[in-house]
Structure 1
Amino acid sequence: MKSIYLIGLLLCLSATCTAQEGTNFEDLTFNEALAKSKQTGKRLFIDCYTKTCGPCKYMVNFIFPLKECGDYFNSNYICIMKDMQEGEGIDIAKKYQVQVYPTYLILNHDGSLFCRMDGGAVSKPEDDFVQKVKNVVKLAEMKQQYEKGERSDSFLKEYIAFLQIHDKKQLQRVLSGTMPLLGVNKLCEPENWKLIKNEIENVDTPLFGYLVNNRKAFSRKLGRQEVETKIMNTYKNEFRMMKMMNMNFDSRLTDLKQLEKDNYKGARALRYSMLFRQIINNKQTNRVNEILKVLQSLPQQLPDEQEIVSVLQELKNFEQIANQQQLEKTRTCLQEISKRVQPENKNQINRIMASLSKG
């Protein structure tokens, strides 16, 4: 009997030690947890889950019980778990707009949001969940510093390097908020130009606008080809991603007209492609003749066959907005163009004509 008692006691102690090693989720109401957060100086960590969420269950069973989780969370946070579909969890979900599960909220003592991880689960114990949380916290802390006006070279260098890995959207905002102030000469230095070249992908960012507006000055420092390639690739990549989304290309068409004046390679072809796509996407039947006018002069306007083909590919769904007479004029234009191109390009044009015939 004595040995059975000892074994039972050891098992209980072992279970207690195991529980203490992992994350200590306390049985507190939301307001009680906030009060304890304020009292202890620790932020509040909330595991937002639902009973039917598989990743939520995995985290509770296999990740939060890990010693490394216990060491980190128990030292730095008051931790609670709330089902977002019952009790006060419903109000928490509404207040903090929790829509995916699990979501992890880290709150300040007053209940304001410090940072969050939407769908922040990991799939196996080898994934470093603690480091994942630390990265989110560091991002929030550095963002606070930046918004308070921290602009030292050492801070910006560290912040930008961290954003390159963890938050591309914020990176675009930080680069646009700081780099134009440096001026063209400084931006042409290898380290800064590399950031512009590799990280600025959004045409609407102020930094890209600064580059376009000062392209001649950049070209004098870096060479025209380097600057032209960066600018045109950015416009082309955006068009490739956005052309089927009914985007209004008017501002882009204006930009490209300016680049045409500088004889930027591909600017005219891209402008025509955007024009075709905008008219067709928006079903602007009153503008079909604009497309016909371009087609009639396309070989003269674009001596490069590949550019011609790239424009003609944007005739997809043209038959939906053109009448039979307009379609016939289009086929006639395409037949004339096909006579002037190499066989491989002729075949592509023939396929485009065939698709129009279906209309």
Structure 2
Amino acid sequence: MKIIIVNLFLLISSLSLFGQGVNFEALTFNEALAKAKQENKLVFVDCYTAWCVPCRVMAENVFPQKEAGDFFNPKFVCVKFDMEKGEGLELSKKLKIKAYPTFFIIRPDGAIQHMIVGGGELEPFINKVERGLDKKTSFTYLNKLYEKGEMTKEQLMIYMVVLQDAGERAKSKEIGKKLDSVLTEKDKMKKEYWPILEKSVYGSADFSLVLNNIAIFKKNVGGENVESYLYQNYSSTLNQLVSERPKDFSTRFTQIRKELEKSYFEKREKLEVSLDFCEAIANEDIEKIINLISRGNVELWSHTGKRASELLVHRASIDQLKNVAALECQYITGNESEAKRKFLKEIFVDFNIAARTMTFEEAFEVAKQRRGRVFIDCCDSDSPVCRYMSDTVFQDAELKRFMLKNFIYVKCDMKKQEGREVCKKFDVHVYPTFVVVNWKGGVRHKFTGIGDAEYFRSKLEDVFNGYTALECLEDWYNMGRRDKKLLTSYAEALASVKDSRAPGVVKELFRVLSDEERVSSRYWYIFAEKEYSPNGSDAEKFLLKNRTKFVEVQGLETVEQRLRDCQ
């Protein structure tokens, strides 16, 4: 009775074990060999490191699967070693490991039978292990056979694949070339030689062989394999033409179009749409790109979408970008793939930025995610100056590229509710005023003024200058600096935008200026603006006392006009 209970317990434990994935045992290497000999099994060794991401994927996602346990546990004594700790350090040298993860099938006598470098999905990985289980398709056996020079074409084919599995890419490529030289076209159409053909690229003789014999290849190697092969080759070629834009790109697009028209495979129509899209991108045909995008085909974004979005952002008009941005909901809600939705959201964020359709709050959220800066155009829609900046200066192609690269642009009209709130938040009183806000919400810079695109670009350089950006000037001031240079820069920056802090800083500046400096043109703004030299102030008293000197510099009319305000 006790024997029956023990046997039942062992049977239940065995079934439970097999249902829990691969059973990696806590054994030394020699203990694993001894157990394998006793149980008439092979040893499966997982050589990993703690920092290796593919190693963790295999350990956490692949080996715990029930199907993995069902395959490995009856055939192997399974062990794993960290190659940077304990016994792993010695094994790493003994097994001559060059990459992680590396897996070995080892005989009970310690001889290596097979080797696999790299992980992957369970089913393909099991296929690689099965080749190692069969002595005649194992890594060690085929190596010895090749050294003797006794391989058939079929064995060369298997050897090429096994070398690739083992991470011996250079030798696998060498075998592939040797094999290719002895194979006839009839051989290449057989299923066993498909691995060598599926690595061929567009324009090669092997690619032409597949293209001209689609039906035969579908019958021999499977329709899905052939469809995927043709689609991937054409897609990568189209992407290359878009990214590299060679001199003969137009001729090559025409050639691909002719090939697709003469061939038939299920994904041909998808490729024809991609061809139209890529050709439009290469030709920088904005209207055609938008026309194709407006059809709502998500596949268009799969390969060349980033290049198309960059082209539109920099070359399309504001109205065109608004039309594209309006397609966001159609694309994102109609896409089941989370990865594609995320990718598309990023693209449409760029469209909305370029189309200037974002609110400040939306733009600030993007800035926080990207750790970027928001550029706020605080304007008055009725102001001719603001309209000039919007319709002329901000349309300059070079300035537009600079702005899109460095800022998230937002336009806030002070005649609208949001505009009034933003202007109040950032102490804006004159229009246009331009405010640059960092991703933490602080003001990096604030300035006003009008000029051409080149002048405006020069003003933007202050944002990146640690000595001229308003944020930096404020930091120095708050740390107690009160030298003339700092106070001059800070007061001018604040006064130019009518910042509420300006009067206090201007007052401090006045105190450190010499009499000669006070009457110079540079500092006239202190006396010209009554808020900086109010009635009874030291600045006003200085103006009245030195009226003659100011007239010599500023002119009688200018000074008299200001003095009338003093009365």
Q: Same fold (TM over 0.5)?
A: no
TM band (smaller chain): 0.3 to 0.5
Larger Rg over CA atoms: 2
TM-score w.r.t. the length of structure 2 is 0.27
